[in-house]
Amino acid sequence: MKKINKISTKIKLIVALLVFLMACIISTTIYLNQYNIKDAAVINIAGKQRMLTQKIAKNIFYLHYTYNSDFYELNAASDDFIKGLNILKHGDHDKNIPPVSVKKISNQLNEIQKLWNAYYEDVQTFKLLSLSYSDREAGENIVRSIYKNNTILLDNVDKLVTMYTNDSEDKTKFIKSFQYVSLAILILMFIYSLIQLKSIESHVEIFSDYSKLLLENKEKSKFTPIKLGAESESEIIEVGDTINCFVQKINAAMDHSNEALKQSEYASSKLEELTDEFDTIICELKDKSLISKHLNNSEDIVIESTEELINSTKKLSNLKEELEKLTKSCQGIKL
């Protein structure tokens, strides 16, 4: 995997990860909370189903032993049970309740549907027998069958409520676990951000220390190139290479000027030696006017050459001073 070594890329990556993580936390929490609200409504319906089975059984016992034929409450309870069972299985768009999605709960609903079909058939038979009042024994048998099937149906509805409750609790635990994990990741991201910012700061401090070193170079000696670690960011390395290139050019110019100055001084000293030798020869040959004349001319030429070399030496010295001023000026710009 290629190492990320750009300041801008590191900052963009940190910001993108933080934004992505926060968006995931917020969206997932909202989504799961909405599901918890729906689960609460579903659990309420399932709990009501349990109550309705009891209500149907109690109403049948009351009608049977009071010889009453008013089936209003019995029919209403039966209709409510059928409606609730359909909502649990297929959902309700108006109440924003989705169809059952957990296979285990779906299987339990199918089992309850089978039990309810048999139970409801007994209820309908009881209603017919209650209206005729002809066969009390058959009525007693159907009431016992309703009592028996009601117990089985109630147990399965209780099991369904428990399943819905456990499913809702599992989602709540998942939300808490997700929040804890997200918090841990946020802390790690925060620590990573601090480490990266500290690394960038340390690399920038290298330039600050180097600029101070340039200012303290009072002896006008050669400048040492700035040294950066291989782990430095690409922008830092690029700036460092630019500074080092400039420093190398200044050092090279200073080396050339010093070398030219030394050569000029050497040539000047040699010409002075020649002048001294010519003076000696002139003293020895001063009786010979023609030779003296030519020698005097030669001496003038040598003296003139010496003066020109001295002037060249001064110009080179001035060049060196100008280079030193340029170096100071560059140091001021860097700071």
Q: Which residues of the chain have pLDDT under 50?
A: 1-2, 290, 333-335
Q: Which of 66, 51, 45, 43 is nearest to 130 (CA)?
A: 66
| Contact between 37 and 172 (Cβ < 8 Å) | no
pLDDT at 156: 94
pLDDT at 228: 61
Is the dihedral angle over the CA atoms 147, 150, 155, 161 positive or is it negative?
negative
Cα–Cα distance, 305 to 190 (Å, whole number): 75
| Contact between 27 and 178 (Cβ < 8 Å) | no
Q: Which CATH class is domain 234-334?
A: mainly alpha
Is the dihedral angle over the CA atoms 228, 229, 232, 234 positive or is it negative?
positive
Contacts of 71 (CB under 8 A, 6+ apart): 63, 127
Whether domain 7-199 has CATH 2.60.40.10: the reply is no
| Contact between 53 and 154 (Cβ < 8 Å) | yes
Q: What is the pLDDT of residues 98-153, one digit of tens each?
A: 888 889 999 999 999 999 999 999 999 888 887 665 666 777 888 888 888 899 99
pLDDT at 154: 92
Is the dihedral angle over the CA atoms 162, 168, 172, 175 positive or is it negative?
positive
Is the dihedral angle over the CA atoms 73, 74, 75, 81 positive or is it negative?
positive
pLDDT at 190: 80
Within the chain, all domains assigned CATH 1.10.287 are found at 234-334
Task: Tell me the two tokens of residue 46.
Answer: 């399932």
Within the chain, all domains assigned CATH 1.20.120.1730 are found at 7-199
Q: What is the pLDDT of residues 80-89, one digit of tens each?
A: 999 999 999 8
pLDDT at 334: 45
Cα–Cα distance, 288 to 295 (Å, whole number): 10
Cα–Cα distance, 299 to 150 (Å, whole number): 141
| Contact between 158 and 108 (Cβ < 8 Å) | no
